[in-house]
Amino acid sequence: MTLAPTLRGTGTESVTPTAGASKRRDRWLALALLAPSLVVFGVFVFYPLGRTVWLGFFLQDPFGLRRQWVGLEQYRDVITSSEFLNSLEVTALFTVYTVPTSLALGLGMAVLAHQKLRGMRLFRTIFASTVATSVAVASLLWLVLLQPSVGVFNQLLESIGREPLDLLNDADTALPAVAATTVWQNLGAVFIVTLAGLQSVPDELYESARVDGHGAWSRFRNVTIPMLGPQLLFLTVVLTINAFQSFGQIDLLTEGGPEESTNVIVYSIVETLAIDPGAASAQAVVLFGIVLVLSFVQFRWLDRRVHYAS
Amino acid sequence: MRADRTTARSHRRRRHLRTAGQYLLLTVVAAIVLFPIYSAVMVATKPFRELGDLGMLVPDGISLDLGAFPTAFSDANLDRYLINSLIVAVLITVGQVATSILAGYAFAYLRFPGKTLLFVAFIATLMIPAEVTIVANLETVQKLGWIDSYQALVVPFLAFAIGTFLLRQAFLGIPADMRDAATMDGYGHWGYLTRVAVPLARPNIAALSVFSFLLAWNQYLWPLLVTNSDDYRTVQIGLKQLTGVEGPNLNVIMAGTILAALPILLMLILFERQLIRGLTSGSVKG
Amino acid sequence: MAGIELERVTKRFGDVVAVDDVSLDIGDGEFMVLVGPSGCGKSTALRLVAGLEEPDEGVIRLDGEVVNDVEAKHRDLAMVFQSYALYPHMTVRRNIAFPLKPLGVDRSERDRRAAAAAAVLALEDVLDRKPAQLSGGQRQRVALARAIVREPRAFLMDEPLSNLDAKLRTETRADLVALHERLATTFVYVTHDQVEAMTMADRVAILDAGRLQQVGTPDEVYERPANLFVAGFIGSPPMNVMSATATDDGGVTVVGAALESEAGTGLPAGRPVSVGVRPEALSFGPSGIPALVDTIESHGHERLVACTLADGSAAVVRLASRAPSPKPGDPVHLSARADDVLVFDPETGDRVR
C-alpha cells in the first residue's frame, strides 16, 4: 500500500495540507484526454480557418509557384465580382426554396405520424428513410427520374398529354429541380427531429386545449408550434447552414449550369480552387462570414420566440 | 335508448372513417416519399430496353434482369469503392467514438484551467463548415503527401464536437455516487472510465456510432478532392464516376446507387432508435 | 482495523463552511455515529475521512498516520452509500467482487471471497442477478457485502438505511450492530435519525452547522446534553426547555414556582436561565409549576400529556399508559427530581449544571 510519508506527532496547531496534488494530476489527465481532439481540431479546423483568411490576401497561380500579397484587394474583388454575386444570389434562392419547404413538409409528416395507429412503426421508418440517403444517392435517384428521354417524370407528363421537359437543362427550372431533390433528402431528418419534439409534448397540454374548446388547427397553432420551438429553431439553423454548404447535388445534377443558374457558392469555390487558390480562399472566408452572421441572427431572432420547456 | 344507440353507431362509423382516412393519407405520403427509391429499384432490375415505358414501374417478375448489378460491380469498380467506404467509415466511427469518450470524460469529470474556453472552442468547430476550410486543408494534405490515402480520408474527422457533447451529457447523467463508489473500491479515473462510465453510457455510444457512420459513409466533397485513384475512392465518388462511365445506362447507374445506399438503409432499419437519438441530440437544450 | 482521528478539520464549499474546526477521535473498533440535521456537515465529515473531499485545514489520521495526501483508493476504507451506488450493469457477484480487482486478487479468489461475503448477508441466491432485479433490502445488503468483501480498515456508512421502509429499517439496525460485533472493525455511520444513532452507536457525535456539539455514549448525550441544541435534538419528544430565574439558594424558579437543582446553579440570584427536563422526568403532583393540560396523545405503551405553562411556554409529560392521567383542560402542577433538572445558559446555550 502506498501511503504518504508519515507525519506522526505533528503539532496540534492547524496544518494546511498540501492540497492540489490530485488537482495537478487532474490537469495532466484532462490534457491527455483532450489532446487527440485538440490536435485534430487544431490542424484541420482552426489552423486552416486562419490559413484560409491568410491565403485570401495573396494572388496565387494554380501551381503555388508565385504568390503576391494583395491584401484586402482580393476580398474586394471577390465581393464585387459578378460571378460571385451571382453565386450568392443562387445560394440565397436555393436556401429560400429548400428550408421552409423541408420544414413544412417534414413537420406535416411528423404530425401525420404522431398518432396511435397500428402499423405506425412501418410508416415512421419509411418517412425517416431519406435520412439514410447521401447527397450522391439522392441526386442520382432524381437524375434518373428527371432524365429527359426515358425518365419516369417525362413519361408521366406524356401520359397526361404534356410536352416532355428537361428541367435540369433549363435555366428557369434547374435550380428549383435541384432544390426539390434536396427537400426530398431533408425530409427524413426534419421528420425525425420534429416527431421527437411532438412526442415530448405532454398529452395534458392537448387535452386541456381541447377542453378549452380549441379545434385541431388552433391546437396545432397554439400548442404544437410553440412547443416545437427548440426543434424548429435547431432545424432552421442547420438546414440553412447546409443549404449554404450545398455542393454534391450541383456537382452531380447540373455542374453549375445552365448559364450559371445553379452555381452555388461552394461549387464556385471548388471551381476556382484549381485555377486561383487565393480567390477561392477569399470566397470561402466570405462564405464563413455569411454562415456565421446568418446563424447568429437566426439564433437571436428566433430564440426570443422560442419557448424552452424546462 | 334507441336514439342513443344510433348516435353511438354513427360515432363509431365516423371514427372508422377517420381511421381509414388517416391510413389513406399515410399510405399516399409514404408512396410519394418512397417513389424515387422504388423507381430506382425498378429501373435497376429491368432490362435496358424496357426503360422509357411506364410499364416498367410494374414489378412483373418476367422481365426481371439483375445484370446491371454485376456490371456496376465489375465495370465501374464499385466493389473496390464499397470496401474503401467501409474502411473509411469504420475508422472514422471508431476514432470519433474514442476521442469523444476521452474528451467527454474530461469535460464531465475533471477540473482544469481553461475548461470553459476549451468547451467554447469545441462548440466553435460546429460553426466552421468544412467547406470553408477545404482550400487550406487540401494544401495541408498535399504537403503531408496524403493525397490518395486512407489518412487523408480519415484523420481530419477523428474529432467530433457533437460526439463529445453527447458523451459529456451521458457521463453527467451517471449518479455522482457511482464515481465515489468506484473511488472507494480502489479505481482511479481510468478504471472508472473503462469499467463503469463507458458501460453505463452504452446507449449514447451506440447512438454516436450510428450517427458517425452515417455521416462518414455519406461524405462527398472531401473524398472527391483528396482522391484521384480508384484504390482510395469511396462509393459516393464512385457514383459520380458511374454517371461518366455508364452514361445512358440508367439501369447500371441505379444498380450502383442502390448498392451505395443499401448499407445505410439497412442500418436505419436495424438501428433506427440509435440513429434518432443521435440526430435529435443536437436539438434539445443542454 | 483502524482508529480515525480528525484534528481541527475545516472544509469550505465557496462561502459555506461545511465542516468547521472539528476534532474527533474515533477508537479502533468503535461504532461511531455522526448525527445531526441535514446540512450539518456530517456527510462532508465522512467524505473527508473517505478521501472523497480534501480538507481546507486540519489533519486526518488513520491509525495515527496522516492521510491528508493519501488518495481515497489507497486509504483502505469501504463506504456504503445512501443510494447504495451499485453498478447497474454488473451482476451481484461482480458488484461484490469489484473492489478486489484493484488489489490484484486473482479471479478464483475473488469469486470465493465474493461468495463468502454474500453468505454473510444471505445473498447466495441472487448472485447472478442485476441490481435492478433486487428488492430494496437486497440492494442494501449487496452494498454492505461489497464493503465487507475487502476486509477494510474501517467502514464508512452514509445514511445506509434511509431508503428502506420503516419495518425493514428497524430489522436492519439490529443486523448492522451484529455485523459490527462480528467484524470487530471501526464503523463510522452517518444519519439524521437520532433513533438510529441512539440504538446503534457506541458513541454519538452530534453536529450542527458544521460544528461538533458533543461526543459521548448514547446515555451521556441523553442524560447530560452539552447544550440546548443537543438537548433538543436527542430524544423524542425532545427535552422540555423552560425559561427560569436563578434563586439565591442555588435553585431556580419557573413561573414563580421553585424547582430544585441538585448541587445548586452557582449562579447569582435573579439571573435568567433555561432549564431542561426530559418528559419522563416531569410528574404531576400537589405542588410545582402550575400548568393547564392541552392535549393527550396515546401511544399505547405511553401517553404524552402536552401542557401550557402560565408564561405561554409548553411542556410535555410522558406517562406510563396505566398511570392515572389528567384530562384536557385540567389545571396541574409539574415537578421534577433535583438531579433531573438541567440548567443552561440561555445566551450561549451551554449547560451550566
C176-196 confidence digits (pLDDT tens) = 999 999 999 999 999 999 999
d(Cα B109, Cα A158) in Å, to the nearest integer? 65
Interface residue C91 vs chain B (CB under 8 A)? no
Of C81, C89, C101, the CB nearest to B181: C81
Interface residue C63 vs chain A (CB under 8 A)? no
- Is the pLDDT reported for residue A19 higher than 70? no
Of B54, B243, B261, the CB nearest to A155: B54
Interface residue C50 vs chain B (CB under 8 A)? yes
Q: Cα A82 vs. chain centroid, distance in angstroms? A: 26
pLDDT for the residue B1 = 54
pLDDT for the residue A305 = 64
Give, for all 286 residues of chain B, the pLDDT tens digit: 566 677 777 888 888 888 888 899 999 999 999 999 988 888 888 777 667 677 777 777 666 777 788 888 877 788 889 999 999 999 999 999 999 999 999 999 998 999 999 998 998 888 888 888 998 899 899 999 999 899 999 999 999 998 999 899 899 999 999 999 999 999 999 999 999 999 999 988 998 998 899 989 989 999 999 998 888 999 899 888 888 776 678 888 888 899 899 888 888 888 888 888 777 765 543 3
- Is the pLDDT reported for residue C4 higher than 90? yes
Burial A62-94 (b: 16+ CB within 10 A, else e): eeeeeeeebeeebbeebeeeeebebbbebbebb
CB contacts, 8 Å: B115 with chain A: 30
* Cβ-proximal residues to B204 (8 Å cutoff; 6+ apart), any chain: B166, B167, B169, B170, B277
Closest CA to C190 of C60, C33, C13, C8: C33
pLDDT for the residue B7 = 75
Say if the Cβ atoms of C87 and B188 lie within 8 Å: no
pLDDT for the residue B246 = 66
C299-329 confidence digits (pLDDT tens) = 888 899 999 988 888 899 998 878 888 889 8
Say if the Cβ atoms of A284 and B135 lie within 8 Å: yes
pLDDT for the residue A179 = 95
Q: Per the structure block, which three cell numbers stand in for C21?
A: 474546526
Sign of CA dihedral B237, B240, B244, B245: positive
CB contacts, 8 Å: C71 with chain B: 188
CB contacts, 8 Å: A6 with chain C: 65-66
Closest CA to B136 of C170, A54, A165, C106: A54
Say if the Cβ atoms of B257 and A137 lie within 8 Å: yes
C320 — phi, psi (to 5°)? -65, 150
Say if the Cβ atoms of C102 and B191 lie within 8 Å: yes
Question: Chains with 3 or more CB pairs closer than 8 angstroms to B?
Answer: A, C
- Report, as an integer, the average pLDDT of A83-93: 92
Q: How far is B103 from chain C (nearest CA, A)?
A: 23
For C117, other C-beta atoms within 10 Å of its C-beta total 23
Interface residue C348 vs chain B (CB under 8 A)? no
Nearest CA in chain C to A9: C64
The pTM is what?
0.85
Question: Chains with 3 or more CB pairs closer than 8 angstroms to C?
Answer: A, B
Q: How far is B3 from chain A (nearest CA, A)?
A: 25
- Chain B residues within 8 Å of chain C (Cβ atoms): 175, 177-178, 180-181, 183-188, 191, 195-196, 199-200, 202
Length of chain C: 353
Closest CA to B189 of B116, B111, B105, B107: B105
d(Cα C63, Cα C185) in Å, to the nearest integer? 13
d(Cα B123, Cα B137) in Å, to the nearest integer? 20
Say if the Cβ atoms of C99 and B185 lie within 8 Å: yes
* Cβ-proximal residues to A173 (8 Å cutoff; 6+ apart), any chain: A165, A167
pLDDT for the residue B128 = 86
Decide if the complex's ipTM is over 0.95.
Answer: no
d(Cα C47, Cα C69) in Å, to the nearest integer? 14
Nearest CA in chain A to B216: A134
Interface residue C330 vs chain A (CB under 8 A)? no
Burial bucket for residue C155 (CB in 10 Å: 0-12, 13-18, 19+): buried
Omega prior to A258 cis, within 30 of 0: yes
C108-124 confidence digits (pLDDT tens) = 999 999 999 999 999 99
Say if the Cβ atoms of A4 and C68 lie within 8 Å: yes
Burial A18-32 (b: 16+ CB within 10 A, else e): eeeeeeeebeebbee
pLDDT for the residue A220 = 83
d(Cα A1, Cα C153) in Å, to the nearest integer? 13
Say if the Cβ atoms of C79 and B180 lie within 8 Å: yes
d(Cα B191, Cα B199) in Å, to the nearest integer? 12
Say if the Cβ atoms of A17 and C68 lie within 8 Å: yes
Say if the Cβ atoms of B33 and A149 lie within 8 Å: no
A122 — phi, psi (to 5°)? -65, -45
Of C59, C66, C71, the CB nearest to A6: C66
* Average pLDDT, rounded, for chain A: 83
Tell me how many degrees the CA angle C220-C222-C227 measures, rounded to the nearest 5: 90
E strand spans, B184-267: none
CB contacts, 8 Å: C58 with chain A: 14-15
Q: Per the structure block, which three cell numbers stand in for C252?
A: 431556580
- Is the pLDDT reported for residue C331 higher than 60? yes
Nearest CA in chain C to B200: C89
Q: Are strands C302-309 and C272-277 parallel, antiparallel or unpaired?
A: unpaired
Confidence bin at A2 (pLDDT 50/70/90)? very low
Say if the Cβ atoms of B261 and A133 lie within 8 Å: yes
E strand spans, chain C: 4-13, 16-26, 31-35, 57-62, 65-66, 77-80, 154-158, 186-191, 203-208, 211-216, 240-246, 252-254, 257-259, 272-277, 282-298, 302-309, 314-320, 331-336, 342-344
Say if the Cβ atoms of B110 and A55 lie within 8 Å: no
Q: How far is C255 from chain B (nearest CA, A)?
A: 53
> What string of DSSP letters covers C216-250?
E-HHHHHHS-SBHHHHHHSSSSPPEEEEEEE-TTS
pLDDT for the residue B2 = 61
CB contacts, 8 Å: C21 with chain A: 14
Q: Find the range with the poorest average confidence among A146-160, B138-152, C87-101.
A: A146-160
Say if the Cβ atoms of B103 and A244 lie within 8 Å: no
- Is the pLDDT reported for residue A3 higher than 50? no
A240 — phi, psi (to 5°)? -65, -50
Question: Chains with 3 or more CB pairs closer than 8 angstroms to A?
Answer: B, C
CB C314 within 8 A of CB C281: no
Q: Per the structure block, which three cell numbers stand in for C172?
A: 436492519
Q: How far is B157 from chain A (nearest CA, A)?
A: 7
Interface residue A7 vs chain C (CB under 8 A)? yes
Supply the DSSP symbol for C272.
Answer: E
Of C89, C98, C156, the CB nearest to B185: C98
- Is the pLDDT reported for residue C91 higher than 90? yes
Of C51, C72, C88, the CB nearest to B200: C88
A191-244 confidence digits (pLDDT tens) = 998 998 888 888 888 888 888 888 888 888 888 888 888 788 888 888 998 899
d(Cα A181, Cα A202) in Å, to the nearest integer? 35
Closest CA to C187 of C160, C220, C216: C160
* Average pLDDT, rounded, for chain C: 90
Say if the Cβ atoms of A14 and C64 lie within 8 Å: no
Q: Per the structure block, which three cell numbers stand in for A60?
A: 496565387
* Cβ-proximal residues to B256 (8 Å cutoff; 6+ apart), any chain: A140, B72, B76, B78, B238, B239, B242, B246
Of A6, A12, A19, the CB nearest to C7: A12
